[in-house]
Amino acid sequence: MSGVDAPASARAMRERFGFLRRSYAMLVKEFIQLKRDRVSFAMIVMLPVMQLMLFGYAINTTPRNLPSAVLLQEDSDLARSILKALENTAYFRFLYEVHHVDDFDNLLKSGKVLFGVEIPRGFERAVRRGDKPALLVAADATDPVAASAAIGSLGMVVQTALKHDLYIGDPPEMPFEIRAHARYNPAAASSLNIVPGLVGTILTMTMLIFTALSVTREVERGTMESLLAMPIKPVEVMFGKIVPYVLVGFLQAFLIIGIGVGLFGVPVLGSLFLLALLSTLFITTNLSIGYTISTVVQNQLQAMQMSMMFFLPSILLSGFMFPFAGMPAWAQYLGECLPLTHYLRIVRAIMLKGASMENLRFDTLALAALMLLAMTIAVTRFRRTLD
Amino acid sequence: MSSGNDIAIDVKGLTKSFGGREVVHDLSMQVKRGSIYGFLGPNGSGKTTTIRILCGLLTPDSGEGTCLGYDIRRDAEKIKRRVGYMTQRFSLYQDLSVRENLEFVARLYGVTDARGAARDMIKRLGLTGREEQLAGELSGGWKQRLALGACTLPNPQLLLLDEPTAGVDPKARRDFWNEIHALAAEGLTVLVSTHYMDEAERCHEIAYIAYGYLLAHGTVEEVIAQSALATYTVTGEALNELAAALTGKPGIDMVAPFGTSLHVSGRDIAALEDSIAPWRERGGLRWQKSQPSLEDVFIELMGRSKDNFQ
């Protein structure tokens, strides 16, 4: 009897722990698969480290060293010491000194500087006479966060800095008036900043993933083998895969801008044609980068993860979420390598500042260069054989 | 007449390794134009690798040769334009319809009237009425017909078919082979890999490859003759016991059950006969000396090569 009972109770035991046993089998299998997938494993470590580094070190919501220009219509000692004082605040870094209003406007329009200080003709004499002349400070307020901090502290900071150089009595009285002008977004409406930014961010995300999956999908479905045996060149595969999505991206951009204009009242001051043209360039650049990812990774999961790896710094370092000028130099250099950084400048400049092609030459060239680089890597990385 | 004209495939000393493991070893072969050449061998023997080398999908580590008169190393692009390759796994786009798949192939090869060519092929394949069905929804037999249609559409001179009939029912298999013979009659050269013996017997010439080594080649009759295998067919009772008793005896290289009979084969006829002598008088067993079948030859080759190379 006991000989019959023993296996029966063993079976009962097994049944009771069946849930654990089967879960354990599944768990062991998952661990083995995770261990084999080196790229996924690397991402598990890389993503949080990257995020921490970027948030911890690169992101600084109080902008410093804002690129600035000075329109000098009078070269006087007083003008010089005011500039010096401004620079000492660490808010401003004067990169350009111009003598014509047109040059001054172009610098602001193209986004090369975020601040401009205008010292009018006869400024020093007017100060000595006690006329309280106006010192004009123009801020690019397309990014209200970056602009408002600097504008807010302007008066105080200048006053303290000039105490020694100027004849400021006690109680302090400013011998001149600072007239700050928030250009392009006088109401400091954040939607004006965010909507154009969203065009770029959404396009980056969708375009990247469209093409990042394209080659791995062919490999995983087994169609790549047939395709490689047919007389088609890597460049031809690439163009065939990119072009349809250019149209998709174009439609998407149109939709976002349409909603931005219709619902949020974001203006499009510049040429719509130029906006469409440069958006197409940006879309193609992202598609090329996605395609490059596709030729490097081994499966669709890796493609998604690598797209995230690219997307995250794009959001954080491009100036979409945090002021670009506030980041340390190394983060700015990194940011310059991201297409989104250049496109944000382009799209904000065209929509909010009415910028023209001449103002945007640098960012356009940067986008084109990134696109060509990605395409070259993709074509050379594309394996023509199964070796 | 130069050999370039009547030889479609001419390769010498092909070798290919993956991760230090040699998959194809010093393989040489010649395939005549307009012939059907069967490629046989166990799984993992290097058949697929050889086919991929021939169509330029893999570069051999060493060895050289020509495919349709073009160098397999330098002229991969020219070869690709003239060769139809049907992969082992269905490799057309499952989410495209029959017509769309064929039109894609036609356009890729630069066929002038892609739509017309696809339409003609659909008619030839007997797929009329299913043009708009997604390729992924077709049954196994139809998928395989469609795949064959896709590789013959650009009018190639050489077809490389990698286990085209795996998992296809016998009727579809027969139709498929009739189609292959029809194509060969039109002058197309066909190299086809298979596991099925009946298919091997439908080839003009065959080659047997195991563990990367090409072990035998020629017509079916030649391959059987080369093997110098003597075979006895035994029918009767208790064949399982007989098989167990004979396995491993001197002169007996192979004992294999075939339905209700047992095939006992060996290369050394005298030793074989000595070993089976005690069993020949046993009641209930009928012994008959027979011609070895192609399968006997292959199983024997496979057994032998396993000893030599593994």
pTM, rounded to two decimals: 0.81
- Least confident window among A139-153, A199-213, A338-352, B175-189: A139-153
- Least confident window among A87-91, A131-135, B64-68, B276-280: A87-91
- Of A222, A223, A386, Cβ closest to residue B57: A386
Min distance A240 CA to chain B CA atoms (Å) = 11
Mutation site, B82, B91, B95, B157, interface A, largest A CB count within 10 A:
B91
Q: Which of A235, A237, A211 is nearest to A223 (CA)?
A: A237
pLDDT for B2: 42
Which residues in A lie closer than 8 A to residue B55 (C-beta atoms)?
A: 229
pLDDT for B104: 95
A244–chain B Cβ distance below 8 A for any pair: no
SS3 A135: strand
**Is residue A170's pLDDT more than 80?**
no
pLDDT for A32: 87
Which residues in B lie closer than 8 A to residue A232 (C-beta atoms)?
A: 108
**Is residue B54's pLDDT more than 60?**
yes
* Residue-wise pLDDT tens digits, A61-110: 666 778 889 888 888 888 888 888 788 777 788 889 898 888 988 888 88
**Is residue B242's pLDDT more than 50?**
yes
- Under the banding of pLDDT at 50, 70 and 90, the label for residue B28 is very high
Higher pLDDT, A137 or A10: A137
Burial class (CB in 10 A: 0-12, 13-18, 19+), A90: exposed
* Residue-wise pLDDT tens digits, B170-215: 898 999 999 999 999 999 999 999 988 889 889 999 999 988 888 8
**Is residue A50's pLDDT more than 90?**
no
Please state the length of chain A. 387
Contacts of B80 (CB under 8 A, 6+ apart): A229, A230, A231, B55, B56
* Average pLDDT of every residue of chain B: 89
* Residue-wise pLDDT tens digits, A293-309: 999 888 888 899 899 98
**Is residue A168's pLDDT more than 70?**
no
- Least confident window among A15-24, A99-108, B257-266: A15-24
Q: Contact B109/A230, CB-based, under 8 Å?
A: yes
C-alpha distance across the termini of chain B, in Å: 43
Q: Locate tokens 């977004």: which residue?
A: A185
Segment A157-181 mean pLDDT: 66
A188 phi and psi angles, rounded to 5 deg: 50, 40
pLDDT for A18: 79
Q: What angle do CA B159, B15, B3 make, to 5 degrees?
A: 50
B56–chain A Cβ distance below 8 A for any pair: yes
- Under the banding of pLDDT at 50, 70 and 90, the label for residue A1 is very low
Residue A324 parent element (H or E): none
Segment A145-168 mean pLDDT: 68
Q: Which of A232, A252, A249, A272 is nearest to A356 (CA)?
A: A272
Q: Contact A225/B89, CB-based, under 8 Å?
A: yes
Which residues in A lie closer than 8 A to residue B109 (C-beta atoms)?
A: 230-231
Three-state secondary structure of B225-263? HHHCCEEEEEEECCHHHHHHHHCCCCCCCEEEEECCEEE
pLDDT for A161: 62
- Specify the amino acid at residue A14: R
A49–chain B Cβ distance below 8 A for any pair: no
Q: What percentage of chain B exceeds 90 in pLDDT?
A: 53
pLDDT for B100: 95
B19–chain A Cβ distance below 8 A for any pair: no
DSSP string across B138-206: S-HHHHHHHHHHHHHTT--SEEEEESTTTT--HHHHHHHHHHHHHHHHTT-EEEEEES-HHHHTTSSEE
- Under the banding of pLDDT at 50, 70 and 90, the label for residue B3 is very low
- Closest-CA residue of A relative to B106 is A230
CA–CA dist B65, A8 (Å, integer): 67
**Is residue A142's pLDDT more than 90?**
no
Q: What percentage of chain A exceeds 70 in pLDDT?
A: 92
pLDDT for B184: 93
Contacts of B207 (CB under 8 A, 6+ apart): B29, B37, B38, B39, B40, B214, B216, B217
pLDDT for B1: 38
Min distance B71 CA to chain A CA atoms (Å) = 16
